[in-house]
């Protein structure tokens, strides 16, 4: 029997904060499953839980925004990772602006990009959104350590995992 917990426990990927906007609604969540998935063209995939409010909004969206947080932005990570958008307006009191295609871009993050949704893939309890980057930005001095999965490990998800 393969011990996937042991294998996965050795990984420590960067956490991403993904936002979606569609039909006058906006949502966002902390994501641990994300990666560049193509060199030519450059593409990036984020995986959203089907239980998540962000997934519900993303299903109707044309663009998603993907943000990188610094390790010291734990409060922002807890807001977007530890609360559910079904009961909380996560954007209240958070600085954001409208990006390309109406995407919601958080202003106080290390780096971000907006991507056009090129493809969706069923992965089980998560759906992958493959993104074609169309706009990016971030801090000019963006050299602070990024929030990683181990840094976010104590954040209890805003909705049940299983």
- Does position 142 have pLDDT exceeding 70, yes or no? no
Instruction: State the Cα–Cα distance between residues 160 and 162, nearest whole angstrom.
Output: 6
Mean pLDDT of 17-22: 97
What is the pLDDT, as a whole number, of residue 162? 54
Tell me the chain's radius of gyration from C-alpha atoms. Answer: 15
What are the structure tokens assigned to 92, written together? 């209240």
Q: Where do we find the tokens 């929030």?
A: 147
- Does position 160 have pLDDT exceeding 80, yes or no? no
Instruction: State the Cα–Cα distance between residues 123 and 141, nearest whole angstrom.
Output: 36
- Does position 69 have pLDDT exceeding 90, yes or no? yes
Mean pLDDT of 100-113: 96
The angle at the Cα of 130, spanning 60 to 104, to the nearest 5 degrees, equals 50
For the purposes of burial, counting CB atoms within 10 Å of the CB of 16, is it exposed (0-12), middle (13-18) or buried (19 or more)? buried
Asked if residues 99 and 135 have their Cβ atoms less than 8 Å apart, the reply is yes
- Does position 57 have pLDDT exceeding 60, yes or no? yes
- Does position 45 have pLDDT exceeding 90, yes or no? yes
């Amino acid at each position: 029997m393969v011990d996937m917990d042991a294998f996965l426990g050795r990984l420590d990927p960067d956490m991403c904060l993904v936002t979606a906007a569609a039909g006058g609604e906006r949502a966002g969540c902390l994501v641990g499953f994300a990666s560049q998935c193509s060199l030519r063209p450059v593409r990036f995939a984020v995986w959203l839980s089907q239980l998540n409010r962000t997934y519900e909004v993303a299903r109707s969206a044309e663009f998603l925004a993907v943000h990188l947080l610094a390790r010291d932005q734990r409060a922002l990570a807890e807001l977007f990772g530890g609360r559910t958008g079904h009961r909380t307006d996560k954007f209240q009191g958070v600085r954001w602006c409208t990006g390309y295609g109406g995407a919601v871009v958080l202003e106080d993050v290390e780096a971000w990009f907006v991507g056009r949704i090129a493809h969706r893939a069923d992965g089980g309890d998560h759906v992958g959104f493959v993104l074609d980057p169309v706009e990016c930005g971030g801090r000019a001095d963006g050299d602070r350590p990024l929030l990683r999965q181990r840094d976010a490990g104590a954040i209890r998800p805003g909705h049940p995992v299983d």
